Structure 1
């Protein structure tokens, strides 16, 4: 899957380079059969590679070679630049993910601390309410005993102003 690493700019550059490349680059025998055999005296072939080179490159226009090589160099540079940019963006994404993970962990810690403080506050409010109730009951019992009347059910008469601190525990009386 080498094509997945290529961008559209690189593919277009390669396609243009291949389209501008003359046909004799692809099929060297295409133009060699059309040539006049008397125009060029036969030369002794030392190897197959040397023969292909001698048949192909002397007949190629230098401008075509220059444009093709230039486009191939531009395509290579485009690929290298895009590869560098992709690597830089990957590093940036990794750093942002690390920062995001650290931020999420801090938020979770703050949320756990807030929940713990809310739980502690509720426990303190409940303890305060219980303390106020016990204090109120103790004061009523002390009043009944101080009145020197035998304890009866009517001894614990509630006045409305005696219960104000029980109804609103957060307000100091």
Structure 2
């Protein structure tokens, strides 16, 4: 009797294997074969879902965006309702920075795709979505905290801070521990005022 496989569960397993491979070997090291080995699957099982490594990687990048977006949307309602917007803003920013195992992995994958997009056109749309998403989050956080004429500059300043902390925390985790990064974020949010 053939084994019944939950297709969505299997895709999640493959995506998790893609993330592991991308963290360890970069985007360019993520072949179908290496991902299959990491997932403990036959390469044919991976090919069943993805025709090429490029398709697999593009869809994996979209999966990272979807996972982070889902968590951010849960915080978004809090941002509108919570009296302490700074606390909620910090929680939202934490979703994008390497402060725990999940966010470290996702930030590393995000950074690897952003870097790969520089020379691989197939990943540019994904990298642009990531870039735009950080800026949209920053805009949501700063709106109603600063005068309207300062919103664009302050949103970009916060987005650049998020980008920089993500980059430094991923590439140099020993020099930017999560506690210090949190303090930097808090200080920045405090500088925006209420």
TM-score interval w.r.t. the shorter chain?
Answer: under 0.3
Of structures 1 and 2, the larger Rg is shown by 1
TM-score (ref. length: structure 2): 0.21
Where relative contact order (Cα < 8 A, 6+ residues apart) is larger, the structure is: 1
